[in-house]
Structure 1
Amino acid sequence: RSLQLFALVQVALGEPLNLHWLHKVHIYPPNLMHHLYRVFKLLSVLFVRFLDTDLLIFWRNIHHFWSHRNLPQVAKRMADLIFVVLSAAIFLCPLCIHSPCLIEPNKLPEKPKLFGHRGAPMLAPENTMMSFNRSIACGVTAFETDVQLSKDRIPFLMHDNNPGFLRRTTNVKEKFPNKDFSHSTNLTWKELQSLNAGEWFLKTDPFHSVSKLSEEEMETARNQTIPSLLQLLHLAKQHNVSVLFDLYSSNQENDTVDTVNTILSSGIDPSLVLWLPPAEREYVNKTAPGFTQIYDNESVMLNKGGDHLNMKYSKFSSKEIRSRRVTVNLWVVNEGWLFSLLWCAGASSVTTNSCHLLKDMDGPDWVMAPLTYTIIWITVDIVSILIMTALFILKCSDINPIYPLGLT
């Protein structure tokens, strides 16, 4: 960074630049970031401290540069002030760093439970029985899905609900080229069952994961159909897995009644049903009091006396998650680093596309006791100050400036 700043000063004053080839590469760090990412994570603490040493070199160069051009004394004092301010900022920046993983290891919350987002959509076509079966192998504690009703009042699983909603994940256009399918009630359950709901997954490869499937798994995916809610409930009942769903409907009252009746007829333990649709909640509470009521709005939840939230992970800070005395499910969490932060923050569960990856995590990426963190920073601060002081004393009387790594 000092190299870049010094180069900018020289260019601004019309001075020529003679850079070593290593510096030419260093000027464009984005080209190296992908390859140095893991090393950067390990060395980031020391890197911040050595910035101050780099800053010292830059400050000495600026002093030498300006001393040969008879610039005003105020400019030199300004350079001193900038150096002091930047150095103080670098030394004090750890005080502004807050991470939920800066906790005592023995206070680490339990690992968040995994909810399969439309099953396991990285391993199978979303919202198909293959997808939900694959998520069971991941150890999910809940299936997350979306429910709509057919023309003949059968609840089925489908996420898309916009006009032409079947086009993305089925072959409806080829199967019924002259039929209107802008809404779920345009098709009967028999017509919906006749659609292929797996071929699109192999063709589009939405998560670049198809190549990892075996020939047998590809063939199974190719022959998937749209499942009914009743099919999913039977699978959930068999494996003691909860079902969390939203209900897409233009007639909430009637669709809620038919959906509740379907659930009750399945024989599933009512406590495994995580009811998310906000409409007709009073009817649901009266008809099926055993359902677990899930809210997507905290104020509504508190007003109704609930204690289960389902929110996008970005809606909460880590402090807010930890301070709440309610069950919090956060969606959609696919990356290990994000899962680690939410784990440290105390999230109860996460909805994920990558249950097969998160299930193998035995702990967050890192956890550090606050005292250990403080000791590390103080130690590195002291070492950095000693290095800077030594450099300053050794070079204070030099005539020539300090050029890092061969800059001439």
Structure 2
Amino acid sequence: MTGNSCCRLCSRGLYSCHWIGLSENRSKHACSWFTFVTLVSLLSLCWMYICVVTFNDQDDINWQGFTKLKWWVNWFMVGIITSAVLASYCILLLLFALFQVALGEQLHLHWLHKIFLFFGVIFIASGVTGISLGWQQEWPIVPLSLQATAPFLQFGAVGALTLLSPFVFQRFHKAKQGSRRLIAVAFIAVSAAIFLCPLLIWSPCLIELDELPEKPKLIGHRGAPMLAPENTMMSFNRSVACGVTAFETDVQLSKDRIPFLMHDNKSEFLLRTTNVKKMFPDGHFNNSANLTWEELQSLNAGEWFIKTDPFRSVSQLSEEEKETARNQTIPSLLQLLNLAKQHNISVIFDLYSSNQKNDTVDIVNTILSSGIDSSLILWLPPAERQYVNSTAPGFIQFYDNEADMLNEEGNHLNMKYSKLGTGKIRELRRRNVTVNLWVVNERWLFSLMWCAGASSVTTNSCHLLKDTDWPDWVMTPHTYKITWMLADAASILIMTGLFLWVRKTKRQYFSLERERTVSLLTY
């Protein structure tokens, strides 16, 4: 069997699950199914892109799963692995179809592939619906991510168009006159869109090199939760080694009025990060005031981290570090303040409380009695800000929205990265507003926020971002324009050559066929 015959056999078998040639009447819907395969492949790639860029916020979707099921599983990784398998399957199927087109084989998609493709469409539609209904705040990351990836996606699209053009040209020369016009119009329209889309591309990283802002400072989100159990002293100590300039945490008050560190509240209180079920099997806790500080201290706040491995990072820890993590307890706010005072590190926190007024008084008293420099306290809770200003005027007031900041003539803003456009960040920085963005974990997003001019970022991955000495990419607008034009010109030249070569090959083929026919008739 020749190599050509082997390729025909394999591509036909894997695409059609038929090992013999197909009759014309069996492939009458082949073009429609080929179009369907192409569309599902593009959809799966787009969905995979969404999954990759939302990886930064994987903890959010896992948290939502825990809130509803009270069972901590890395649901995001389950989804992203399924999406990767689907995208790989669709792309391979499309490649087999293109091989068949190149080899002159008829297309006939097997019914099993059709079922899998429909399931793929349902899976993608369910994912989009799920985000739209339950995670709608995540959609802004998609256009934001394009500011980091669009220039390179365009270069990739130019390359893919160039590689796929011979298949289009072959189909063009085989088609009838009416179909030729349709193919030509569609191909020219797609090519023009790909070649000219840089006219619409903008990114904060398209700047002159000497205009690159200072690297954003790092704030440890509940410490260093990839290296140690969140909101434990081990976690905050690990973040000190990362060079963070502030600790971010969450404060609640016990039954006996001791401020302590814990994020989860309401019905999830203590369930995810402690062994409260084991220690108090008959208890039902939905509020920090249900337990005294002594009872809270009896809980283990680290074993869950080793068991669930929420960031798949436990394997990076030594046996000694694992043992330390297993024996963590819930820390008090005073313990954190003493650590911050020792290393001259700031503290910023959310306050979860149904009695903001009384709790604010106790927390402010705890901070003032700790002896920490007031300028190291970045005060975020909005409820009793007036009282805090009068009692502790040295605290730096941070705001979670621009309107309140402007009304109170502040100049420190703490917001989710997707709620401020990069242009807005740049504008605020020009007005000398300190902008902290949360939660930034992935390097590409950190690079984008760096180019935009963020003052600092709250992160789970301080150990990774501390070693980032330069954004992933920075390019001057002039360099990008030249690179874009050269890439487009090279693609056009190559496709022109391929078109002429395919046309010449077809003419030679038809010429040989005519000569063979004439010789047979003469004989």
User: Shorter-chain TM-score category?
Assistant: 0.7 to 0.9
Looking at secondary structure, tell me which structure has more helix per residue: 2
CA distance in 1, matches of 2:460, 2:30: 54
Asked if the contact 1:275–1:292 (Cα under 8 Å) also holds between the matched residues in 2, the reply is yes
Q: In the TM superposition, what are the counterparts of 1:101-180 in structure 2 within 5 Å? A: 101-180=205-284
Asked if the contact 2:226–2:313 (Cα under 8 Å) also holds between the matched residues in 1, the reply is yes
TM-score of the pair, normalised by structure 1: 0.85
The match for 2:170 is 61
The match for 2:408 is 304
Residue 240 (1) aligns with residue 344 (2): yes
Determine helix, strand or coil for the equivalent of 2:260. strand
Q: In the TM superposition, what are the counterparts of 1:224-263 in structure 2 within 5 Å? A: 224-263=328-367
* Change in 2 beyond 3 A, CA 1:98/1:128: same
The match for 2:497 is 390
* Change in 2 beyond 3 A, CA 1:28/1:255: farther
| Deviation for aligned residue 1:380 | 1.6
The match for 2:446 is 339
The match for 1:355 is 462
Determine helix, strand or coil for the equivalent of 2:269. coil
* Change in 2 beyond 3 A, CA 1:90/1:43: closer
Asked if the contact 2:170–2:502 (Cα under 8 Å) also holds between the matched residues in 1, the reply is no
CA distance in 1, matches of 2:97, 2:458: 38
CA distance in 2, matches of 1:177, 1:401: 84
Find the partner of 1:278 among 363, 382, 385.
382
CA distance in 2, matches of 1:139, 1:147: 23
- Percent identity of paired positions between Structure 1 and Structure 2: 67
CA distance in 2, matches of 1:280, 1:114: 27
- Tell me the alpha carbon deviations over residues 30-62 of structure 1, each in whole angstroms, 9 at most, x when there is no partner: xxxxxxxxxx99985653323443464344333
Determine helix, strand or coil for the equivalent of 2:180. helix
TM-score of the pair, normalised by structure 2: 0.67
Determine helix, strand or coil for the equivalent of 2:274. coil
* Change in 2 beyond 3 A, CA 1:182/1:55: closer
| Deviation for aligned residue 1:304 | 1.3
CA distance in 2, matches of 1:401, 1:114: 66
CA distance in 2, matches of 1:134, 1:109: 27
Find the partner of 2:418 among 308, 311, 314.
314
| Deviation for aligned residue 1:376 | 0.8
User: Considering only aligned residues, what root-mean-square deviation do their CA atoms show, in Å?
Assistant: 3.0
Structure 1: 5+ residue runs without aligned partners? 30-39, 403-408
The match for 2:519 is none
Aligned residues: 378
The match for 1:405 is none
CA distance in 2, matches of 1:254, 1:122: 34
- 1:61 partner amino acid: Q
The match for 1:181 is 285
Determine helix, strand or coil for the equivalent of 1:399. helix
CA distance in 1, matches of 2:508, 2:166: 8
Determine helix, strand or coil for the equivalent of 2:336. helix
| Deviation for aligned residue 1:386 | 2.0
Asked if the contact 2:154–2:197 (Cα under 8 Å) also holds between the matched residues in 1, the reply is no
* Change in 2 beyond 3 A, CA 1:11/1:240: farther
The match for 1:191 is 295
Residue 87 (1) aligns with residue 191 (2): yes
Asked if the contact 1:64–1:401 (Cα under 8 Å) also holds between the matched residues in 2, the reply is no
Residue 381 (1) aligns with residue 497 (2): no
- 1:49 partner amino acid: V
- Tell me the alpha carbon deviations over residues 224-271 of structure 1, each in whole angstroms, 9 at most, x when there is no partner: 111111111111011010000011111111111111111111111111
The match for 1:264 is 368
| Deviation for aligned residue 1:357 | 0.7
Determine helix, strand or coil for the equivalent of 2:240. helix
- 1:311 partner amino acid: M
Asked if the contact 2:154–2:198 (Cα under 8 Å) also holds between the matched residues in 1, the reply is no
Deviating more after overlay: 268-277 vs 177-186: 177-186
- 2:439 partner amino acid: V
Asked if the contact 1:113–1:348 (Cα under 8 Å) also holds between the matched residues in 2, the reply is yes
